[in-house]
Structure 1
Amino acid sequence: MDAVQQVFKGTFIHSTARCACEVKENHILGTGKDGKILFFEDAHTQSRLAQKWGFDESNIQALGKNEFFMPGMIDTHIHAPQYTFIGTGMERPLLEWLAHTTFPIEDTFSDIENARNKYSAVVRRTLRNGTTTACYFATIHTDASIVLADTANQYGQRAFIGKICMDHNDTYQKYKETTEESIRETKRFVEVLKKKKYDRVKPIITPRFAISCSERLLNELGKLADENDLHIQTVMAHGCYLTNEELDIFRERGAAVSHCPNSNISLCSGHLDVRNVLNHRVKVGLGTDVAGGYSISLLDAIRKSIETSKILFMERSKNDWDTNDIESFQKGNMTPNGINRGAENIPITPEKNPNVLSYKDAFRLATLGGSEALSIDHMTGNFEVGKEFDALLINPDAKDSHFEVFSHIPKEKQSKSKIIDQTIKNFLFIGREQHKIELKDIYYQVY
């Protein structure tokens, strides 16, 4: 039987197949030497667990009053080199932004020392923002892409690393490969990473996007992915204009969507109807799409995914109105959402509309949803026994915390569960890096 390495006791929140945001108060969790979860049960079973696994009270790390564990967040779409110019050039349309800002700066990553310094910064910053798993686009440079893989492994971040492939680039001719070079260098990249045998860092096949790759290159990359059982990156991103028929194909083939709401808004790409995607039983995770998106934080992605769903709700409510609806509303017979008033006279709000994402839904997208999208939900995404303890310790009472924990619930109705629920909402909506600034509070490999 595996020996217990760590034991934690307190509040845990995670997503399961049946619950988008499950709160487990007064629970006890133990991990083995390999970092995998050995047990996760109500604390009233502590004596039995201690006898079975051979630990005592002194071995238990108890969480503070308002602290809680949550799974590490998963960024399913991020461009590592673009962190260096995040927030710049946002006034330009996409192709112009690529030509004037993105491609020229990415081209400088042919310098290995430049790549090493900047990739160290992006990996540390994503970790400090709670991203314990990232699906990275690198650049066309093989050696620099290997540096990114080495850096992620050094800091203990789980990562999929993609050497970008592009044999067409009419907007910035200097930054591209020949077809043969792209195929050859991608094979070399995959072979080098496979030989390194990193536990948490893997190569991923990464065509930049459709117009930057020839048909021959795409075909060869597809063969390479099949031969090495590798993920393919680009097909997952955005998906704002997928039809219902296309979503059915996604489901049938096991494809997933990376929802990048900040980027979608910043680049005027459109709004993804996440609820419709989920209704088609297609896997969905969240992405920052740095630097198309101007925030490296998945907390921002959580918030903007909720805002996007509310914008879609409002747009549809407005479009559904006709002249009779307006007249009925003006007479007081209809709610602003186009619903005839009944006996209860209660308007339908976004929070009560099943098509609008709740904070619980968005929390799931950032954790378990991301692990499902990347097909690693057997390893991470929640606190099920057998998975790696990939977790963030959130402390709302941390020094320089961005919010205070107050309770507006009457004392006679107060309960710890209600206070915890309020604290979780506060963290997801206004929390930021200060709540997990120390890498030691990310539990898996970073110490």
Structure 2
Amino acid sequence: MDKIVKIIKGTGFSSITAQEIEIMEDYLYCIDEKGMIKKRLAPSDKQYNLFLQEAKALDTLVELKKGQYLLPGFIDLHIHAPQWGQSGTALDIPLHEWLNTYTFPLESKFKDSVFAEKVYSHLVDTLLAHGTTTGLYFATIHEEASYQLAEICARKGQRGLVGKIVMDDLEQNPDYYCDKDTQIALEDTERFIKRVKALQPEIKQGVYPVVIPRFVPSCTDRALKGLGELAAAYDVHVTSHCSESDWEHGYVKNRFGKNDAQVLNDFGLLTDKSVMAHCNFLSDADALTFKEQGTAIAHCPISNAYFANSVIPIKKFHDLGVEVGLGTDLSGGYDPSIYSAIRQAIISARMLEDGVDTKKSPAERSDKEPSRITAKEAFYFATAGGGESLSLPIGRLAENYAFDAQVIDTTIAHASMPIFEDSEPLEDTFQKLLYLTKRENITSVWVQGEKIRK
């Protein structure tokens, strides 16, 4: 038991592939001092009882109770952190009006560090309470507030990937909220990268700087080129929006004569550390570019229903070999819970396959390709797929992965689940966890082997 500092005993679920889950009944998860799963033991393993008894003797055993289950921590690949203050607001108006009436005025307030601390602290606490152990965050154009968000993730124990956004095109952005000078925006971004990297040696779970052009329409060519160069020079993650809506997709095509994905690739912004949100209008050639570059899609099914003008054929893109994870897209998506994103991903994919226009016959109404995804696939996107998208060893309850986990209690009095038979197949229980878990059911959250929420 050398270097093992904690053992968790319980029944857990983890993805093997997008189509297959592991059901680990009464397993031991042996965690080392770095917070990694060093060993995983089934009751049938010869060492199981030895490890169990020694953990009891050393008081390093955490044992789940009857009715409690272990899931990997969720990975949210698309969060607009400053928009948390407007979550659930005005989603019934057009995107352009929503941005200019609510979003940009709110984001401009983050020049105030006191306000930023209040919003960002509340957000990170909320996400952790919903089982989100890793978040990929858009901050604002303000370097200091963006750095505050990285510090808050570090302090509260969440794995955070944070970027100061760049939006320097004076014709496309409001005059009260934009980078007034491209060179200064790039210099601020470079300094931000260095500052967050300086935090890394102190942070067990990891905090990472991210290069973020808000999206192609908000940036000049010079900014896009400079951001691509910074991403390469510092080997950091990149995120942005890509072909989200009819307007964005059409604007980029009119400006450059090619699709959003190809423009981002030309500027060096599609890499194996890149995650692009939405991507509803990718062509097959765009998807192939994503696959070749190792770039992932952050699938945001709730916000897509409000603002994307379409349903993304996510199964098709994943089957083509593109990495896929899930995002809440706060606050274009109103709910901070990835559980809701899982459910909506399944619903949206089914509606795409079956069609929605009742004036057409079923054959005419439906998508021409199989588009529906299963609960297992949506769970994969929320966990293992998210980890692969970020090129990090997270998202699985497996050896050599970080122990990021959430404990789900199905017996909470005011949020109990309809599990009445001890003989119920665990695969059925797994599905109930995905569809019925509420915030109250998540009784503890672990990140990198550290329990950070009771």
- Name the TM-score, length of structure 1 as normaliser: 0.86
CA 1:226–1:445 in 2, change beyond 3 Å: closer, same or farther? farther
Using the alignment, how far apart are the partners of 1:105 and 1:297 within structure 2? Answer: 22
Report if aligned partners of 1:95, 1:171 keep a CA contact under 8 Å in 2. Answer: no
Secondary structure of 1:400's match? helix
- Counterpart for residue 397 of structure 2: 383
Counterparts of 1:237-248 in structure 2 under 5 Å? 237-248=277-288
Give, as a single letter, the amino acid of the residue that structure 2 aligns with 1:389: F
Shift of 1:370: 0.7
- How many pairs were matched up? 413
Using the alignment, how far apart are the partners of 1:46 and 1:102 within structure 2? Answer: 57
**Higher mean C-alpha deviation, range 78-87 or range 62-71:** 62-71
Using the alignment, how far apart are the partners of 1:33 and 1:240 within structure 2? Answer: 42
- Counterpart for residue 247 of structure 2: none
Secondary structure of 2:452's match? coil
Give, as a single letter, the amino acid of the residue that structure 2 aligns with 1:360: K
Using the alignment, how far apart are the partners of 1:22 and 1:41 within structure 2? Answer: 13
RMSD: 2.7
Using the alignment, how far apart are the partners of 1:22 and 1:319 within structure 2? Answer: 43
**Higher mean C-alpha deviation, range 269-278 or range 281-290:** 269-278
- Counterpart for residue 272 of structure 1: 312
1:259 pairs with 2:261: no
Using the alignment, how far apart are the partners of 1:445 and 1:59 within structure 2? Answer: 13
CA 1:397–1:441 in 2, change beyond 3 Å: closer, same or farther? farther
**Higher mean C-alpha deviation, range 289-298 or range 37-46:** 37-46
Using the alignment, how far apart are the partners of 2:438 and 2:217 within structure 1? Answer: 37
Report if aligned partners of 2:406, 2:445 keep a CA contact under 8 Å in 1. Answer: no
Q: Deviations over 1:359-383 (max 9, x none)?
A: 111111100011111111xx21102
Shift of 1:93: 1.2
Counterparts of 1:346-385 in structure 2 under 5 Å? 355-376=371-392, 379-385=393-399
Counterparts of 1:290-301 in structure 2 under 5 Å? 290-301=330-341
Shift of 1:220: 0.5
- Counterpart for residue 112 of structure 1: 113
Give, as a single letter, the amino acid of the residue that structure 1 aligns with 2:45: T
Q: Structure 2: which 5+ residue stretches go unaligned?
A: 243-275
Counterparts of 1:157-196 in structure 2 under 5 Å? 157-169=158-170, 170-177=172-179, 178-196=181-199
Deviating above 4 A after TM superposition, structure 1's stretches of 4 or more consecutive aligned residues are 46-49, 51-54, 56-59, 316-322, 437-443
Shift of 1:427: 2.1
- Counterpart for residue 423 of structure 2: 415
Secondary structure of 1:43's match? coil
Q: Report which of the two has the higher share of strand.
A: 2
Q: Deviations over 1:44-90 (max 9, x none)?
A: 32645626995456643332222111100000001001011101121
- Counterpart for residue 409 of structure 2: 395
Using the alignment, how far apart are the partners of 1:357 and 1:18 within structure 2? Answer: 10
Using the alignment, how far apart are the partners of 2:373 and 2:146 within structure 1? Answer: 36
Give, as a single letter, the amino acid of the residue that structure 2 aligns with 1:35: G
Using the alignment, how far apart are the partners of 1:183 and 1:148 within structure 2? Answer: 19
CA 1:202–1:10 in 2, change beyond 3 Å: closer, same or farther? same
Shift of 1:162: 0.7
Secondary structure of 1:123's match? helix
Using the alignment, how far apart are the partners of 2:371 and 2:184 within structure 1? Answer: 47
Q: Deviations over 1:380-425 (max 9, x none)?
A: 1102212111111111112421533234xxxxxx735x1x222222
Using the alignment, how far apart are the partners of 2:225 and 2:195 within structure 1? Answer: 22
CA 1:52–1:92 in 2, change beyond 3 Å: closer, same or farther? closer
CA 1:18–1:99 in 2, change beyond 3 Å: closer, same or farther? closer
Q: Deviations over 1:311-338 (max 9, x none)?
A: 101118979848xx79xxxxxxxxx989
**Higher mean C-alpha deviation, range 381-390 or range 154-163:** 381-390
**Higher mean C-alpha deviation, range 424-433 or range 129-138:** 424-433
Q: Deviations over 1:230-281 (max 9, x none)?
A: 1110151101111111111111111110100000001243111111011101
Report if aligned partners of 1:392, 1:443 keep a CA contact under 8 Å in 2. Answer: no
- Counterpart for residue 330 of structure 1: none
Using the alignment, how far apart are the partners of 1:437 and 1:121 within structure 2? Answer: 18
Secondary structure of 2:162's match? strand
- Counterpart for residue 222 of structure 1: 228
- Counterpart for residue 157 of structure 2: 156
Using the alignment, how far apart are the partners of 2:154 and 2:65 within structure 1? Answer: 31
Larger Rg: 1
Shift of 1:102: 0.4
Give, as a single letter, the amino acid of the residue that structure 1 aligns with 2:145: A
Report if aligned partners of 2:405, 2:445 keep a CA contact under 8 Å in 1. Answer: no
- Counterpart for residue 213 of structure 1: 219
Report if aligned partners of 1:271, 1:312 keep a CA contact under 8 Å in 2. Answer: yes
- Name the TM-score, length of structure 2 as normaliser: 0.85
CA 1:48–1:116 in 2, change beyond 3 Å: closer, same or farther? closer
Give, as a single letter, the amino acid of the residue that structure 1 aligns with 2:335: S
Q: Structure 1: which 5+ residue stretches go unaligned?
A: 327-335, 339-352, 408-413
Secondary structure of 2:44's match? helix
Using the alignment, how far apart are the partners of 2:389 and 2:419 within structure 1? Answer: 33
**Higher mean C-alpha deviation, range 87-96 or range 59-68:** 59-68
Shift of 1:2: 3.6
CA 1:116–1:364 in 2, change beyond 3 Å: closer, same or farther? same
Using the alignment, how far apart are the partners of 2:283 and 2:291 within structure 1? Answer: 12
Q: Deviations over 1:279-316 (max 9, x none)?
A: 10100000011111111110010000000111101118
Secondary structure of 2:398's match? coil
Using the alignment, how far apart are the partners of 1:257 and 1:51 within structure 2? Answer: 40
Report if aligned partners of 2:40, 2:399 keep a CA contact under 8 Å in 1. Answer: yes
CA 1:27–1:365 in 2, change beyond 3 Å: closer, same or farther? same
Report if aligned partners of 1:265, 1:271 keep a CA contact under 8 Å in 2. Answer: yes
Give, as a single letter, the amino acid of the residue that structure 2 aligns with 1:33: E
